Amino acid sequence: MPREANSPGWIRGQFNFYVLLPTGTGAVEFVTDHVPGFKFYVESVKAYVIVAGTGSGASRTLRLIKTVGTTDTTVATTTLLLADTDTVGKEKVVAVTPANAEFLDSHKLTLDVASGGTQFTAGSINVCVQYRTRAQQL
């Protein structure tokens, strides 16, 4: 049962998730209900293109979601466009809502694209979720 220790200062870390941009326009979850199991705050979310995207007019809504009990809250979101993915290595910032950025021990993390938009026909990204946390005591 991890708990924050009474220590000064923050420690930063990252979750990195590889995401294959889905074809079609349905909702797709790439990570479902992952429980890191410790308290942290999401500071930034950024996507970096691994394989360039294709698909005329492609546009999908990428979201990082926090689930508390059965309640979902959007922590970060962006509309990922074809132009955002046309170059390998290109960065796309996923806007974080600071008020929703706190995860507690039991909170679940999901990464998805919402239904709708216009499909990609190829492409993949690395999603880098940077967080800050405090030292823990067991």
Partner 1 sequence: MSAWVKGELNFAITLPGGTSDAEGVTDHVPGFPFIVESVKAYFTVAATGTSATRVCNVVRTNVSTDATVATATIALADGDTLGEEKAFTIGGATEFYETSKLSVMFPTAGAVAFTAGVINLCIVYRTRVQEIVGS
41 part of the interface to partner 1, by CB under 8 A: no
| Shortest separation between residue 105's beta carbon and partner 1, angstroms | 10
Dist CA 121 CA 106 (whole Å):
36
In the list 23, 25, 30, 122, the residue contacting partner 1 (rule: CB under 8 A) is 30
Copy the structure tokens of residue 28: 């797709």
Question: Please, how many CA atoms are within 13 Å of residue 43, restricted to the half-sphere of its CB?
Answer: 11
Complex with partner 1: residue 29 or 83, whichever CB lies closer: 29
| Listed residue (110, 121, 107) closest to 62, CA to CA | 110
Site for partner 1 in 69-128 (CB under 8 A): 110-112
Tokens of 63: 């979201």
Q: Which of 32, 87, 106, 121 binds partner 1 (CB under 8 A)?
A: 32
Amino acid at 54: T
3 or 87: CB nearest partner 1: 3
Per-residue binding string, partner 1, 8-27, x by CB under 8 A, is ---x-xxxxxxxx-x-----
C-alpha span between 48 and 57 (Å, rounded): 19
List the structure tokens of 26.
Answer: 């349905």
Residues interacting with partner 1, by CB under 8 A? 2, 5, 7, 11, 13-20, 22, 28-34, 36-38, 40, 110-112, 133, 135-138
